[in-house]
Amino acid sequence: MGKIAFVFPGQGAQAVGMGKDIYDALPDSRAVFEKGDEVLGFPLSKLVFEGPDSELKQTVNTQPALVTASVAFLEAFRAQGISPDYVAGHSLGEYSALVAAGVLSYEDAVALVRLRGQFMEEAVPGGKGAMAAVLGAERGALAELCRTISEEGNPVELANVNCPGQIVVSGSAAGVDSVVQRVKEAGGKRAIPLEVSGPFHSSLMKEAADRLAAELKKVTFNRPSVPVVVNVTAAPVTDPEEIRQLLVQQVFSPVLWQDSVEWLISAGVDTFVEIGSGSVLAGLIRKIDKNVKVVNINTLESAQAPL
């Protein structure tokens, strides 16, 4: 029997109504949503279940909403008694992974990501930063193009290395626009501007990272029950202080998702369980290695189905 990794989605996976079926059916999952409302001091669950979508899409709401849905689905799935050998999450999803590994309490995680969302939104004035998904480019060539454009005075960097042929760039609006225009220079087919409220995972997020660091210092980090494969290094971490530091770096560093999945597979993982809204990570994992098993836990039915 191979090893199992639990993986958790990040921003972009949100959907109005996510988790409503488990909220209605399972007291343990309902308790997660209720606790979130209590910690944040506003009815987050109402926004998640009823929308409007435009409000749920605001980073400051999306981040706590996704962590809440992921942890609620985790509670639903826990009844099966399956434990992971490793956990990982994509960007924001790393916080859900840390809850799954017992590093952070859900209460601390949801309060932190609400602030994380706020700090990220406030770090760069609206319209000054941007992100784009680049399709078909080779990583080294795209990094080189970003370096060239940055040296011309418009900073832009690799933000998410998602899977072969899909890399997100982030930085100044002018820098990202240059990548979109010049994508063919890096062997890319095209670049699609993303609807985001800031240049996440770029050096323009340093101020947000500094503000988050101050908040992370106030929170207890426990030793994880299983190793957490983190975005910044794509390697397993078990030291609580190191995890705390890496969460600060994560705000302005690229998310090495492809590298993380490849590391997990090399460590013997052959089953990935994506827990939370949507199936974004399942799609990326299949593009990285079509031979591994990928399961989505994003409905009441899937949470109760055998693996």
> Shortest CA distance to 62 belongs to which of 7, 133, 110?
110
Write the CA distances from 233 to 11, 93, 173, 186, integer angstroms.
Answer: 20, 15, 27, 24
State the pairing for strand pair 166-172/156-163: antiparallel
> Shortest CA distance to 201 belongs to which of 155, 225, 170?
170
Length of the chain: 307
Q: Which two tokens stand for residue 116?
A: 């994380």
Write the CA distances from 176 to 121, 137, 140, 142, 253, integer angstroms.
Answer: 18, 15, 17, 12, 16
Write the CA distances from 43 to 107, 192, 301, integer angstroms.
Answer: 15, 34, 26
Catalytic (active-site) positions: 91, 201
Q: Which two tokens stand for residue 4?
A: 């199992």
SS3 105: coil
